[in-house]
Structure 1
Amino acid sequence: MTTSPALWNDAALTELAECLELLTADGSVPGGVIAYGTCGGRPGYLASGLVAAECGDTRPGPQTRYDLASLTKVVAIWPLVGKTLADRLPLGAPIRHALPGLPADAPGGWVTVRQILAHTSGLRADTRLDQYRKSGSNLAELICREPLISTPGTQHRYINRGFILLGLILAAITEHRLDELTDALWRDLGMRHTTYGPLGRATDVAPTEQRFPGAPRLWGLPHDDNATLLGGVAGHAGAFSTPADLATYADALLRAHRARSPLGRWLADSMTPQAAIEPGLDRGLAWILADKGQVAYHHGFTGTSLYLSPATGRYLALCTNAVYHHQDNRTRLAPLRALALKAVANGAW
């Protein structure tokens, strides 16, 4: 454990460290890293276990690269929408305005950017891009032609398809590939080791799942099949990052919020509740909101999480490759994620 940044409670850090150690000891995760800090300060790190058996005795640390899975939504697409898309396509405008040639009878074309970010679009919940293979048609049009499963704006349902569409829209409007846009974004933010895959197999890259006995483990490739079908570059998943880069990102967001810069105003707007998820939790624009709207966070299926609290100035990033052993990581990681939320929330200790 490093020296605790200001405003962090040592009891909270001890609980987080002990919980991570327990998860490593019982085989829930091979290992993991927690990055934590306060706006404007240097981050601290807690680490446990190994990167993976394939990496020998290499221990995870601030520069270990992890598959972010759905954290891609808030590390790639969400900031790009605020920076690039909002001025060209208002949040309340149908996305068809950004997709020339989309037929008027394509129901998905009438959903808005706001509804996609709030997961109230009514688009199909299953992603299943494999069904479109060899269709010869534009992917955005294929997704938009699918029947809606609910009236847009009326029901919260977590949907990957909307963020895939936002990635396609960003590329169409800017005339740049999504990975080109994110490379520029992450470079500007100082996130030097954040990128879309594929990555080479190395001891600083955390492997994930072995899909079939005897087959190679996923290593440097997205765990998400649909991201793989898109060449590893997708709006909903596919990015890789390090605990150190996530700390850099979180600190940049909190500093921007404090300075009321455009990025900070985008974060503030995004922390306005858009839809109820369950008692005590709301959906903002992309982010989940907790602690009466004072904390914004998001999870990734592979075993990652990111938490921000402008109210306390604290942030926390959790990086594990929990799907290395198990698919049921939501239950196994629940205690650690609950402690993380408590640690960043206002008045937690």
Structure 2
Amino acid sequence: MIRFKILSLCCFLFGMQSINAQLSYDTPESVGLDSIYIKTNVDSIMRDAIIQKAFPGAQLLVAKQGKIIFHEAYGFHTYDSIQKVNLNDVYDLASVTKIAGPLPALMKLYEMGKLDLDAPFSTYWKDWKHKKDKKDITLRELLAHQSGIKPYIVFLAEVYKNGKVKKRFIKTEKSKRFSSQYYSDMYVKNRFKNKIYRHIKRVKADGKKEYLYSGVASLIYPQIIEDITGVPYTTYLQDNFYKPLGCTTLGYLPKEKNFKNAIVPTEIDTVFRKTLVNGWVHDDNAALLGGISGNAGLFGSATDLAKFMQMLVQNGTYANKQYFKPETVKEFTRIQYPENNNRRGLGFDKPIIGNDTLSIKEAYPAPQVSPESFGHAGFTGTFVWADPKNELVFVFLSNRVYPSRTHRNIYTLNIRPKLQQLFYTAIKD
């Protein structure tokens, strides 16, 4: 009996240590993995990807049991091989913004009882109150992509026509009415946000309660968060999450922050900006909102993303500070509509249902991730994934859209699933 109590106490203390852990660097062997197997195979996959122009450079960070066991950089910022990728480089995170930007704020407001996942979203977004196709859609349905709302709206068409910029919406100099910045010498009319909201008011929902990925609602989450909290969206994120977590690079508008870290460029924009996009958000809709949006706009380093994801792996606690209750994390990271073959959690992406039965080519992400795992990918070539069952955090950052988004070998070569799978098969004998 005494031995059982001591064992129980040890398990409890180990659990507390794990929950309160702060990421530190260690070797793969410290968690039972083979460093030579990992390094040899990661190097091979990365070299082949760069040769085949999947991306000019990338970095990979993997943490297991609260220890960063692998963090390496490969290649260069661009194919001219001038600036090497460094471990502290800052990337445009694209749609990873959805889970690292508005989602933690929505989670906290839900936890505080200020948001009801199953109430009509029109309770919070009055524009939909009298729209028959949208008035009964819930936040749960929106976050799980079960709302039937069309996937995307191209707002760039509103400011650019026949190769020319509409000067009533875009100016080259900042002023009181044009203070929302699109690019270094492009300022959007402040009231353009209202035009975006009017489009979202009229956006069609097909009424089908089935999986259809849509980023439209993400555009309005920051406004919802401001309306409920009375605090500017970016301030709320910094004060409640990024600063306490020690995420020094994670945030919007990196050009305003005088980082010592290099910012990795994305695409050579041949349509609108007519230059290499570097330090400004790649996504046009987020850019037209001044770079601050719920669908895209976040920039950050691999280590900052790892801290955020590790906090979620540890059920909402990191370095002795609780950000969420464990039941909140569990609710948002579970599959919401499995009966409809919809794999999504609330905001978080999840593995394909039956993923462990699929080949590496068919699976998403790697076949051996647990059903409890979650994460998100970004259009620019970013990918983050957390597996609480296996205590593993996987952060992959690249600029696969350089020089053009037509470069799709990151997908055809299955680079990210192959890399992720290595950390499930690298068990030391």
TM-score over 0.5 (shorter chain): yes
2:173 corresponds to which residue?
none
Measure how far apart 1:146 and its partner are.
Answer: 2.3
What TM-score does the superposition give when structure 2 sets the normalisation length?
0.71
Give the unaligned 5+ runs of structure 2. 1-24, 160-190, 352-368
Residue 80 of structure 1 pairs with residue 105 of structure 2? yes
Cα gap change, 1:104/1:203 in structure 2, threshold over 3 Å: closer, same or farther?
same
Cα gap change, 1:164/1:136 in structure 2, threshold over 3 Å: closer, same or farther?
closer
* Alpha-carbon distance in structure 2 between the residues aligned to 1:236 and 1:230: 11
1:208 corresponds to which residue?
266
* Alpha-carbon distance in structure 2 between the residues aligned to 1:282 and 1:144: 27
Give CA deviations for 1:41-76 in whole Å, capped at 9, x if unaligned.
24530211012357x633222210000000001111
* Alpha-carbon distance in structure 2 between the residues aligned to 1:262 and 1:162: 23
Give CA deviations for 1:15-38 in whole Å, capped at 9, x if unaligned.
233211211222221111101112
1:150 corresponds to which residue?
207
Residue 179 of structure 1 pairs with residue 234 of structure 2? yes
Give CA deviations for 1:247-277 in whole Å, capped at 9, x if unaligned.
2112222123589973543322223212459
Residue 283 of structure 1 pairs with residue 344 of structure 2? yes
In the comparison of the two structures, how many residue pairs are matched? 344
Match of 1:21, SS state, is helix
2:27 corresponds to which residue?
3
2:14 corresponds to which residue?
none
Asked if the contact 2:211/2:340 (under 8 Å) is kept, the reply is: no
* Alpha-carbon distance in structure 2 between the residues aligned to 1:228 and 1:100: 25
Moved more, 199-208 or 23-32: 199-208
Alignment map for 1:121-136 (pairs within 5 Å): 121-130=147-156
Match of 2:415 among 328, 332, 336: 336
Give the unaligned 5+ runs of structure 1. none
Asked if the contact 1:170/1:178 (under 8 Å) is kept, the reply is: yes
Name the aligned partner's letter for residue 165 of structure 1: I
Asked if the contact 2:334/2:372 (under 8 Å) is kept, the reply is: no
* Alpha-carbon distance in structure 2 between the residues aligned to 1:289 and 1:253: 14
* Alpha-carbon distance in structure 1 between the residues aligned to 2:339 and 2:395: 22
Residue 245 of structure 1 pairs with residue 304 of structure 2? yes
1:317 corresponds to which residue?
395
RMSD: 3.1
Alignment map for 1:55-94 (pairs within 5 Å): 57-86=82-111, 87-94=113-120
Name the aligned partner's letter for residue 194 of structure 1: L
Asked if the contact 2:265/2:279 (under 8 Å) is kept, the reply is: yes
* Alpha-carbon distance in structure 2 between the residues aligned to 1:31 and 1:171: 37
Asked if the contact 1:102/1:141 (under 8 Å) is kept, the reply is: no
Alignment map for 1:41-60 (pairs within 5 Å): 41-52=67-78, 57-60=82-85
* Alpha-carbon distance in structure 1 between the residues aligned to 2:140 and 2:74: 39
Match of 1:44, SS state, is strand
2:286 corresponds to which residue?
227
Measure how far apart 1:140 and its partner are.
Answer: 4.0
Measure how far apart 1:242 and its partner are.
Answer: 0.4
Moved more, 116-125 or 335-344: 335-344
Asked if the contact 1:31/1:60 (under 8 Å) is kept, the reply is: yes
1:40 corresponds to which residue?
66
Measure how far apart 1:308 and its partner are.
Answer: 0.6
Cα gap change, 1:270/1:8 in structure 2, threshold over 3 Å: closer, same or farther?
farther
Cα gap change, 1:263/1:136 in structure 2, threshold over 3 Å: closer, same or farther?
closer
* Alpha-carbon distance in structure 1 between the residues aligned to 2:312 and 2:275: 38
Moved more, 3-12 or 120-129: 3-12
Measure how far apart 1:224 and its partner are.
Answer: 0.5
What TM-score does the superposition give when structure 1 sets the normalisation length?
0.86
Cα gap change, 1:85/1:141 in structure 2, threshold over 3 Å: closer, same or farther?
farther
Match of 2:85, SS state, is coil
* Alpha-carbon distance in structure 1 between the residues aligned to 2:294 and 2:119: 19
Asked if the contact 1:74/1:298 (under 8 Å) is kept, the reply is: yes
1:262 corresponds to which residue?
324
Give CA deviations for 1:174-217 in whole Å, capped at 9, x if unaligned.
12222222222211221111111252798711001012299320
Match of 1:308 among 381, 386, 394: 386
* Alpha-carbon distance in structure 2 between the residues aligned to 1:191 and 1:68: 14
